[in-house]
């Protein structure tokens, strides 16, 4: 599927070092490095209610990571999915009387425009689940043959069997809890909350996730090597990531709401398919809240990028609002935070413009300090503070700092 246009990234003198990122699995900072090409998978949207500030904050975190990798002289290979077939999407389409495919297409288009406005780097591979149904079914078939998947008869006699992953049947590379470090009670609660079906009869374990849902009347389905049906959620991302990036890629990213069961199970499926870990680093962003609760489609407390833009808000100010919070912290969107970012944007623009007065702060040293802030777990609030201080004094080379702000923070002044 086509992604969106790529923003220009100016080159900078010197190189930054390879960044360290917090890894959810090992609960510590890890150098995000696997050779000359950094390979990144970030879970994409389920296309309805796009693009809210939580989505934008998550994609911006991995945009920043890519900018640091590029500045470190690495090649970057970035892949992202679109979950364009899933229960919540079908439910929303049914509620609003819109065809689910039209809903998905129009929301993906809106998402593309928002990403482009925010200067987010596009994925090299932007893959809709409906584009790779054969590959997903084939992976499910291989899991069945390998004995790590099993059939559960459907309640409806007309349908075939649903297929589940046996989460206890893998060993070595991945065991349940390897990514999330959660205890069984916490896993059960999150599984129930986030699309799992712990009460489904016939499963070997309540936490076993669905790999393939047999066709039901009134639901979209596709003929496949494992019978007519549609894929479960986690196997989609395992298959797309393995297809595009190969096993043991550098970073698997997404919001912290995906740690369990989604990233836990995606890693499990991939380990069962390839015999290797899915990724080196499992990285997660904090949740953006609004009006006291996590910004989410189900609660409807959404601040949309497109709505702010059509109200005349500068996309660069949105970007600076998001960058002012560390990607791993949970925080709440507010009008005041946006106003602070708008003030910062106008100060930086005035003080770094072509005819700004020269000052005594070294642009080279400021660039080095920005690089160092980002190198250690993408500390963007610190990087903004570094620029604020330099701008307050006045810099000796405004053009260089402008290039640095554009390349590393994605804000063109």
Residue 230 vs 402, nearer CB to Zn ion: 230
Query: Is residue 240 at the binding interface for ligand 5CA, with CB under 6 A as the rule?
Result: no
Write down the least CB distance from residue 330 to ligand 5CA, Å: 8
| Least CB distance to ligand 5CA at residue 93 (A) | 15
Q: Does residue 237 interact with Zn ion by CB under 5 A?
A: yes
The answer to whether the beta carbons of residues 50 and 110 sit under 8 Å apart is yes
Contact criterion met (CB below 8 Å) for 72 and 32: no
Site string (250-289) toward ligand 5CA, x via CB under 6 A: ----xx-xx--------------------------x-xx-
Instruction: Give the whole-angstrom CA distance, residue 209 versus residue 190.
Output: 12
What is d(CA 195, CA 96) in angstroms, rounded to the nearest whole number? 21
Using CB distances below 5 to 8 A depending on partner kind, what does residue 224 bind out of ligand 5CA, Zn ion, none?
none
Q: Which of the listed partners (ligand 5CA, Zn ion, none) does 295 bind, with a CB threshold of 5 to 8 Å by partner kind?
A: ligand 5CA
Residue pair 197/152 in contact (Cβ under 8 Å)? The answer is no
* Least distance from ligand 5CA to the Cβ atom of residue 361, Å: 34
The answer to whether 120 contacts ligand 5CA (rule: CB under 6 A) is no
Q: Give which of ligand 5CA, Zn ion, none residue 255 binds (C-beta under 5 to 8 Å, depending on kind).
A: ligand 5CA
Residue of 117, 164, 142 whose CA lies nearest to 322: 117
**Partner whose footprint covers residue 79, from ligand 5CA, Zn ion, none (CB < 5 to 8 Å by kind):** none
- ∠ CA 146-264-268 to the nearest 5 degrees? 15
| Closest CB to ligand 5CA among residues 98, 361 | 98
Task: Assess 374 for contact with ligand 5CA (CB under 6 A).
Answer: no
In the list 83, 130, 224, 363, the residue contacting ligand 5CA (rule: CB under 6 A) is 83
Q: Is 58 among the residues that bind ligand 5CA (CB under 6 A)?
A: yes
Q: Helices 363-375 and 53-71: crossing angle, nearest 10°?
A: 120
User: Phi then psi for 32, rounded to 5 degrees?
Assistant: -85, 80
Pick the closest to residue 282 from 243, 325, 323, 237 (CA basis). Answer: 237
Q: Does 43 bind Zn ion (CB under 5 A)?
A: yes
- 123 or 254, CB closer to ligand 5CA? 254
Q: Which does 294 bind (CB under 5 to 8 A by kind): ligand 5CA, Zn ion, none?
A: ligand 5CA
Whether 285 and 61 have beta carbons less than 8 Å apart is answered as: yes
- Rg of the chain on CA atoms, in Å: 22
Instruction: Tell me how far, at minimum, the Cβ of 86 lies from ligand 5CA, in Å.
Output: 7
Confirm or reject binding of residue 209 to ligand 5CA (CB under 6 A).
no
113 contributes a contact to ligand 5CA by CB under 6 A = no
Buried b or exposed e, range 109-126, using 16+ CB within 10 angstroms? ebbbebbbbbbbbbbbbb
Tokens of 387: 């620029």
Dist. CA 362–CA 311, nearest whole Å: 38
Segment near ligand 5CA (CB under 6 A), from 72-80, 108-116, 164-172, 249-257?
249-257
Strands ordered across the beta sheet of 288-290: 293-294, 288-290, 331-332
What does the alpha-carbon distance between residue 154 and residue 215 come to, in Å, rounded to a whole number? 10
Binder among 7, 16, 23, 54 for ligand 5CA (CB under 6 A): 54
For the bound state, the minimum distance from the C-beta of residue 368 to Zn ion, rounded and expressed in Å, comes to 36
Q: How far apart are CA 86 and CA 103, in angstroms?
A: 12
Most distant CA pair in the chain, distance? 78
Closest CA to 1 of 116, 98, 122, 100: 122
Shortest separation between residue 45's beta carbon and Zn ion, angstroms? 10
Residues binding ligand 5CA (CB under 6 A) = 43-46, 54-55, 57-58, 81, 83, 237, 254-255, 257-258, 285, 287-288, 294-296
Residues binding Zn ion (CB under 5 A) = 43, 237
């Amino acid at each position: 599927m086509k992604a969106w246009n790529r923003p220009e990234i100016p080159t900078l003198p010197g190189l930054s070092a390879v960044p360290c990122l917090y890894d959810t699995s090992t609960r510590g900072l890890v150098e995000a490095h696997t050779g000359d090409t950094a390979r990144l998978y970030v879970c994409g949207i389920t296309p309805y209610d796009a693009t809210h500030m939580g989505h934008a904050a998550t994609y911006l975190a991995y945009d920043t990571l890519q900018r640091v990798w590029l500045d470190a002289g690495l090649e970057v290979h970035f892949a992202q999915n679109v979950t364009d077939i899933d229960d919540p999407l079908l439910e929303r389409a049914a509620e609003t009387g819109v065809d689910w495919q039209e809903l998905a297409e129009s929301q993906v288009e809106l998402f593309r425009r928002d990403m482009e406005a925010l200067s987010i780097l596009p994925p090299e591979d932007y893959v809709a689940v409906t584009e790779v149904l054969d590959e997903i079914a084939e992976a499910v078939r291989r899991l069945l043959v390998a004995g790590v998947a099993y059939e559960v008869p459907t309640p409806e006699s007309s349908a075939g069997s649903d297929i589940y992953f046996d989460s206890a049947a893998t060993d070595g590379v991945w065991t349940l809890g390897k990514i999330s470090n959660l205890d069984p009670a916490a896993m059960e609660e999150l599984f129930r909350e986030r699309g799992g079906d712990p009460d489904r009869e016939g499963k070997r374990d309540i936490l076993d996730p669905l790999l393939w849902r047999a066709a039901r009347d009134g639901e979209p389905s596709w003929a496949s090597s494992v019978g007519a049906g549609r894929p479960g959620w986690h196997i989609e991302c395992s298959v797309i990531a393995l297809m595009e990036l190969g096993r043991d890629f550098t970073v698997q990213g997404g919001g912290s709401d995906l740690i369990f069961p989604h990233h836990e199970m995606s890693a499990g499926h991939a380990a069962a398919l390839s015999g290797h870990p899915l990724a080196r680093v499992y990285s997660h962003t904090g949740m953006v809240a609004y009006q006291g609760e996590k910004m989410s489609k189900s609660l409807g407390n959404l601040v949309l990028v497109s709505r702010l833009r059509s109200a005349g808000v500068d996309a660069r100010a949105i970007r600076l609002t998001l960058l002012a919070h560390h990607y791993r912290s949970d925080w709440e969107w507010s009008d005041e935070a946006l106003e602070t970012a708008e003030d910062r944007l106008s100060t930086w623009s005035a003080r770094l413009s072509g005819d700004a007065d020269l000052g005594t702060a070294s642009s080279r040293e400021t660039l080095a300090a920005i690089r160092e802030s980002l190198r250690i777990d993408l500390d963007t609030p610190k990087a903004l503070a570094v620029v604020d201080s330099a701008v307050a004094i006045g810099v000796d080379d405004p053009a260089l700092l402008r290039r640095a702000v554009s390349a590393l923070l994605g804000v063109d002044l």
